[in-house]
Amino acid sequence: MHSHYALIVTLALCAVSALAQKSSTMEAIAYLAGTSTVKGNVTFIQNGCSENVHVRVYLEGLTPGKHGFHVHEKGDLTGGCVSTGAHFNPDKMDHGAPGDEVRHVGDLGNIEADANGIVDTTFTDHLISLTGKRTIVGRGLVVHELTDDLGKGTHPDSKKTGNAGGRLACGVIGVNDIGDEWPCSSAAGKVVSIFAFVLTVLTSRVLS
């Protein structure tokens, strides 16, 4: 009898473990354009709720060199790129570099255009997300005229915007492919944890 109970509990634990580890690939995309010649696409892919976001950037029409690149708080283009508001900053931090502990969630640093004005690059970011409190879906994405000083400059705007200058092009980050978000729910995660704990206790009793 004990062996039957042990088998049932073990199978249940395996099911809970699989549920807890379940991840769905989420994908978002933004088409950037503006009054300048800049245009292109930016794709965001996240392979699970707590995973880094993979960013693929393809833009053309830029002047060669580095350009500030940020997620802004609003997905509003009614007044052009200025309508996207300030940098996305739910944690109320100062502006910084992508690798800094203190930064806006939307601080993605600089992208660098080659001699032909093209950016074709990929990178990952640990702070932005496609779900939860820090989701960038529905928000604005902006490429700037100048280099972002990453909050290290002496200009008064350094800690606010990186003194990256005007907004050359922008777009709204929209859903492209989003899977089952249930595992991303903190409440669901707590249920799974409690269920796993109860089953662990039962297992120890059955096997003792």
Q: Convert the pLDDT of each residue in 120-169 to its tens digit.
A: 999 999 999 999 999 999 999 999 999 999 999 999 999 999 999 999 99
Question: Of the listed 67, 95, 103, 139, which one is catalytic?
Answer: 95
CATH of the domain spanning 25-179: 2.60.40.200
4 an active-site residue? no
The pLDDT value given to residue 29: 98
> So what's the pLDDT on residue 205?
54
Residue tagged active-site, from 67, 87, 103, 139: 87
87 labelled catalytic: yes
- What's the pLDDT score for residue 11? 45
In the prediction, which pLDDT does 6 show? 47
Write out the two tokens for 121.
């690059």
Cα–Cα distance between 38 and 121 in angstroms, integer? 16
Residues in the chain: 208
Could you tell me which residues come within 8 angstroms of residue 29 by beta carbon, excluding any fewer than 6 positions away? 41, 42, 43, 44, 173, 174, 176
- Cut 0.95: pTM above it: no
More confident residue, 28 or 24: 28
Is 70 annotated as catalytic?
yes
**Looking at 103, 104, 139, 149, which residue is catalytic?**
104
CA-only gyration radius of the chain, Å: 22
